[in-house]
Chains A and B, each alone.
Chain A
């Protein structure tokens, strides 16, 4: 790895795991439910245990699971890194817009009561923004750290 090559199954452990049909089938089956659970935690955090941080992290663990089951390189080829960066920039932009849009509408920073939408809908908007940011950052930390300097393309 010190010669700067991409991390193509650098360890026996990881290639062993990605070869197991049990792990692959299990992660294939579980993935949609985990994503649904993440969306549920994000959108219904106002009335049930959960919230956007939890939902975002749960959705991000799907990518970790898929990478463990199918190998890191195919997962990274399947992921659109620009979309990933766009995800957390979008989350930050929505939250920032809500925070300072309240000032523009005559309230204090993040005063959700001044918006024309109900407080519950504003909170859900903020929650979706938080979930997008958290998902993007966690997947990004995983993918880019595993990838290395300059995407592993040069030393």
Chain B
């Protein structure tokens, strides 16, 4: 890891630790947006610009605004126990929450440590073959998609040509979300 990557990872981890402990809800949302932006830059450094674009636009842009709307429409920028301890900027750590987060983090950390190091020659992502000797699906897409579809960007070739049915399913979910929001809010007249 180069210094830029180390700084970004430290930045994101600091943000993730500050986020749940901040008492100010808008501050927490801004922290979330900024740490998501840091994650987007990490995706760029990992040569995944497609993911970085989505992360920056959805994570840092749209989701934060939806959070702000939710906060405005519910507590109106004020924490419930704001008046009681308004002089403290961070809320105390709740032990049950810490236990739950720890129970999620342990298997995730175990899975992370089980991954091959980045760029290892025998990793399936680099060699294109599983330990059993079969070719991995992504090796197939990377090697064959340019010839079969003519698209230099294999991501779009996979999304639309090879995995079009998955994309159709994703869009049905997005469509259903918009329709159900209209129905819940009593705006079916727009459809």
Residue positions of A touching B, CB distance < 8 A: 1, 7, 10-11, 13-14, 41, 45-51, 53-54, 57-58, 60-61, 64, 68, 81-82, 84-85, 88-89, 91-92, 95-96, 99, 109-110, 112, 119-120, 123, 126-127, 130, 133-134, 136-138, 140-142, 144-151
Contact = CB atoms under 8 A, between A and B. Distances in A.
A126 B164 contact: yes
Main secondary structure of the interface of A (DSSP, over half): helix
A150 B125 CA distance: 50
Interface in B160-191: 160-161, 164-165, 167-168, 171-172, 174-175, 177-178, 181-182, 185-187, 190-191
Contacts of A84: 190
Q: How large is the interface on B (under 10, 10 to 19, 20 to 34, 35 or more residues)?
A: 35 or more
B160 A127 contact: yes
A15 B62 CA distance: 19
B161 A47 contact: no
Contacts of A95: 168, 171
Contacts of A96: 168
A64 B185 contact: no
B153 A49 contact: yes
B58 A1 contact: no
A49 B51 CA distance: 10
Given A46-B153, A133-B175, A51 B62 contact: no
Given A64-B65, A138-B62, A11 B181 contact: no
Given A88-B175, A141-B181, A144-B181, A60 B191 contact: no
B156 A123 contact: yes
Contact of B73 (A7, A54, A81, A85): A7
A81 B190 contact: yes
B46 interface: no
A64 B61 contact: yes
26 contacts: A1-B76, A7-B72, A46-B152, A48-B152, A49-B50, A49-B53, A53-B54, A54-B50, A57-B53, A57-B58, A64-B62, A85-B191, A91-B171, A96-B168, A110-B164, A119-B149, A119-B161, A120-B149, A126-B160, A127-B160, A133-B175, A137-B174, A137-B177, A144-B182, A145-B66, A148-B185
List 9 A-B pairs, minimum CB-CB distance, nearest first. A110-B164, A49-B49, A54-B53, A57-B57, A85-B190, A46-B151, A137-B178, A150-B186, A45-B156
B89 to A, nearest CB: 18
B26 interface: yes
A136 B178 contact: yes
Nearest to A41: B53
Contacts of B61: 57, 61, 64
A49 to B, nearest CB: 4
Contacts of A91: 171
